[in-house]
Amino acid sequence: MHQERERVPCADLFSSQSSCRVNRNTVSGYFLAGRDMAWWPIGASLFASSEGSGLFLGLAGTGAAGGIAVAGFEWNATYALLALAWVFVPVYISSGIVTMPEYLQRRFGGERIQMYLSSLSLLLSIFTKISTDLYSGALFVQVCLGWDLYLSTVLMLVVTGLYTIAGGLAAVIYTDALQTLIMVLGAIVLAVKAFNEIGGYPNLEEAYLKAVPSKIVPNTTCHLPRADAMHLFRDPVSGDLPWTGMTFGLSIMATWYWCTDQVNVNKNPL
């Protein structure tokens, strides 16, 4: 009876402490959640990993400054995720790898490329993702609760570090699933309230094109709304986010981010 209870995956029994404890004591359990995770927390975790506080504030600010073409970064991910599911994940599964540096080590041999990718991924994660998410999250807490910016940053680091180190990938995935629910519901409420306040999309477009920011650079026109602000696909020559680059060039970066980046790849049901 005791052995049967140990085989129950965490995805099927949230309250099974013995199961989670067994999973965390193995490499597969700690880094891959025992390979028993259900599809819905994995999908929710992928969403939360991408749509963090940095994108909630950053994309909103970029959209306010330059228009809706920045949404191309998100719809482009659709094709990359399909490639991940049908092309990359089968290779990762057949290789039996836990991390991306381990895959390169098995593919090409030696340890230098493994150490190089580990170091590069860590540096990129710290300076391009973790730092911006921490700052934007702390900024949000400061605006909403009035807490000190540095205190908010430290608290987020401590809380995140505790449940990540203690629970492994399973704890991260379930926490992300809860965050996804909060973000989706919050975004829906905010969108409905915003459109009600302004009177619908036509009024939004009209108000945006007439908007002037409170802070401007004198003797410049950079603060004026772009004429193509409401166009998702922009001119390949004069557009700031040309449709050619957003369609073809961005796909290269999206393939790296969604199909080979350690944060996203490690949350698949390998």
Please determine, for residue 36, whether its predicted confidence score (pLDDT) is greater than 70: no
According to the model, what pLDDT value does residue 2 have?
42
pTM of this prediction?
0.68
Dump pLDDT digits (tens) for 56-92. Answer: 778 888 888 888 888 888 888 888 888 988 998 888 8
Alpha-carbon distance of 246 to 72, in angstroms, equals 6
Alpha-carbon distance of 167 to 126, in angstroms, equals 21
Dump pLDDT digits (tens) for 205-254. Answer: 888 888 877 777 777 777 788 888 888 899 988 888 899 988 888 888 88
According to the model, what pLDDT value does residue 268 have?
52
Dump pLDDT digits (tens) for 140-196. Answer: 888 888 888 888 888 888 887 787 777 676 777 778 788 888 888 988 998 899 889
Write the DSSP string, 67-133: -GGGGHHHHTHHHHHHHIIIIIHHHHHHHT-SSHHHHHHHHH-SSHHHHHHHHHHHHHIIIIIIHHH
Residue type, 266: N
According to the model, what pLDDT value does residue 189 have?
93
Please determine, for residue 33, whether its predicted confidence score (pLDDT) is greater than 70: no
Name the phi and psi angles at 82, rounded to 5.
-65, -40
Alpha-carbon distance of 179 to 181, in angstroms, equals 5
